[in-house]
Amino acid sequence: MNQLRIAVINGGDSAEAEVSRSSARGVITALKENFDTVVSVELDANVTTALADCQPDVVFPILHGPPGEDGTLQGFLEILGYSYVGSDVHSSAFAMDKIIAKQVFRDAGLSVAGQVVVNRNDGVADAVARVSRDLGEYVVVKPACQGSAIGVTLIDNVNQLHEGIEEAFTYDQRLLVEERIDGREITVGVIDTDTGTDPFQVIEITTPDGTWYDFDHRYTAGWSEHLMPAELPAEQTSELQRAAVSAHQALGCRDLSRADFVIQDEAIYLLEVNTLPGMTPTSLYPDGARGYGLDFPDLVKYLVVRAAAR
């Protein structure tokens, strides 16, 4: 098994490229504990040649945001005939598009926040008017197809709403605007096994007062705290784990994913599912895996072996 050749694709030109490279360095180091040939491949115009030179048995995408997480890279790898870690084309595309994903969640009976979808072609003024009318001004503005909270703004008033929508339109043509739910930020990773899908322990994410789990707090050491297991009633813990597994399966995800939630009192709201969760030293998915019994080298080995078996 240690003779498997692995290409770790990372980087590119997305807004999350540096996070991808940081994750990849850690993954490569961990993979080298079990495999002799692990090659870093930059996602650029030379990626086809780099893969051909490497001739990998397995490709491990360590990418966040489009085009690495939205099905584009996955389709490219399938056309070229490479086995790869993670979800396939369709489930990657569905999960990355927050608007489509939420419809899948609703169809699966999972609880989600109220929303309005707005389009850049209709203009900022129309978007502000629709959101104010249907949801009010206490909302969250999100680009439909970005990750790591890029372009996300928490809104308190109409002036902020106008600015937040205008900024988010620089990242995406479609925006998901949701009712703003104040509560505890929760995440649950899941992993596929030969017998089904297992949830990890529930993790609560805390940040300093007056802040939230934005891009900086996700990737800066010491700016957030992961409480595992989260101090929750047993019934609520089980409900969160069931919802994470249901969301993974409803989207058709493969190998791994991480579901993010917010809890307000006893109500649980599913926010989104990440098909390629972060793998940096401050990332949540590796924390959950350790609670499940897989240290980082064992985790990445397990994912590579599953992909190789396909």
The set of catalytic residues is 16, 148, 219, 258, 260, 272, 274, 278
Cβ atoms < 10 Å from Cβ of 235: 9
Contacts of 92 (CB under 8 A, 6+ apart): 69, 70, 71, 74, 86, 275
Task: Detail the DSSP E strand segments found in the chain.
Answer: 5-10, 37-42, 58-61, 115-119, 139-143, 153-154, 174-179, 184-193, 196-199, 203-206, 225-227, 256-264, 267-274
Check if the beta carbon of residue 176 is closer than 8 Å to that of residue 99. yes
Element (H, E) at 166: helix 158-168
Give the strand order in the sheet containing 37-42: 37-42, 5-10, 58-61
Amino acid code (one letter) for 6? I
Checking 304-308 for CB contacts under 8 A at 24+ apart, the result is: 304/4, 304/6, 304/31, 304/35, 304/58, 304/60, 304/85, 305/1, 306/85, 306/192, 306/255, 307/58, 307/59, 307/60, 307/83, 307/84, 307/85, 307/255, 308/4, 308/57, 308/58, 308/83
Q: Between 124-134 and 158-168, two packed helices, what is the crossing angle to 10 degrees?
A: 130
Query: How wide is the angle at C-alpha 242 spanned by C-alphas 145 and 286, nearest 5°?
Result: 60
List, in sequence order, every residue forming a beta bridge with 204; answer none if it has no partner. Answer: 186, 227
Classify 282 as helix, strand or coil: coil
